[in-house]
Amino acid sequence: MPTDVAAASDPRHFLEIDDLSTAELETVLDRAAAYKRAQQGGESHADLAGQTLGMIFQKPSTRTRVSFETGMTQLGGHAVFLGEDDIQLGRGEPLKDTSRTLSRYVDAVMARVFKHENIEVLAEYSSVPIVNGLTDDAHPCQTLADLLTIREQEGEFDGVSVAWIGDGNNVAQSFTVGAALTDIDLTVATPEGYGIDDDVLDRARDLGGDPTVTHDPVDAATDADVIYTDVWISMGQEDERDVRMNDFEGFQVRSGLLEHAPDASVMHCLPAHRGEEITDAVIESDRSVVFDQAENRLHAQKALLSWLLAE
């Protein structure tokens, strides 16, 4: 039975991708691949039978909600959706009170929130694992799916080159650190003023990574094995639309850009704004692994939950 007595529980949290060591990351990815094979083969894998995941959503989502909820069902457990207006959090209850209360009810909590400090508060006061389903600063669950997808496409990480084209947002920041954990050769191309935070680059370098930073999308894409992009205008940035559309001119992933990387797969974490950061032709092309990547959210998150709760 979950308890909020810190001395009785020392949960493992997953707030950033580098909360996993390289060895632990490999374990989770191997388990994700095994779960994917099991599902495709119609094999039961109810490793979390009787366990419950609480899911806090301040930001709406398609992939995060459905993949976690379906994942818990396939693992034999149960997930409870907790929208901000469905619980007292939306009426001013302190996060620490929500966290300690949920620790009495559920076996883990996934939270998709705005401020990164909010996920940190949830973890500080929780005696069950807290999983970062997305914050304004990081999206580590997406990185797990990204790395699983790249490993499927390339067979390994060693020698793989990835070009990130576009905004240095939360997805890019987590991926930058994930690339360092796996020795992926990463080049990030963003407009000036939209780059990866310096502290994230420092974390990546401390892990042995050496991300290249440029403002030239063609230079980044040339001979890459994978080209990855995301929206230019994230939730909460709608009032910046006109400025961003002007600043990101030339950073669209289109057929012309792919000519510089003739063997590259194309990734996008979705939702895509077709015609903005990526063309419809590219996302629908045989170069796109976007929907394999989306599916892998399910398998990677099952593996993460199993690793957090079943060991």
Catalytic residues: 112, 139, 142, 230, 269, 297
- Confirm or deny that 201 is annotated as ligand binding: no
Q: Is 63 annotated as a binding residue?
A: yes
What residue has token string 């992933």? 253
Q: Was 132 annotated as part of a binding site?
A: no
Q: Known binder of ligand: residue 269?
A: yes
Cβ atoms of 15 and 109 closer than 8 Å: no
Q: What CA–CA distances, in Å, run from 85 to 90, 91, 105, 213, 291? A: 5, 7, 19, 41, 31
Give me 239's structure tokens.
């009032």
Q: Is 110 annotated as a binding residue?
A: no
Q: 309 a known binding residue? A: no
Of 70, 55, 20, whose CA–CA distance to 297 is shortest?
Answer: 70
DSSP label of 62: S
User: Under DSSP, is residue 155 helix (H, G, I), strand (E, B) or coil?
Assistant: coil
297 labeled binding residue: yes
DSSP string of 6-53?
GGG--PPPBSSGGGS-HHHHHHHHHHHHHHHHHHHTT----TTTT-EE
Q: Tell me: is residue 62 an annotated ligand-binding position.
A: yes
Q: Is 61 annotated as a binding residue?
A: yes
DSSP reduced 3-state for 116: helix
112 is in an annotated binding site: yes
Q: Which residues lie below 8 Å from residue 209, measured CB to CB, with a gap of 6+?
A: 176, 177, 179, 180, 181, 183, 184, 186
88 is in an annotated binding site: yes
- Is 64 annotated to bind ligand? yes
Asked whether the beta carbons of 230 and 171 are under 8 A apart, the reply is yes
The answer to whether 139 is a known ligand-binding residue is yes
- As annotated, the binding site for carbamoyl phosphate includes 61-64, 88, 112, 139-142, 269-270, 297
Residues annotated within a binding site for L-ornithine: 170, 230, 234-235
Binding-site positions read: 61-64, 88, 112, 139-142, 170, 230, 234-235, 269-270, 297
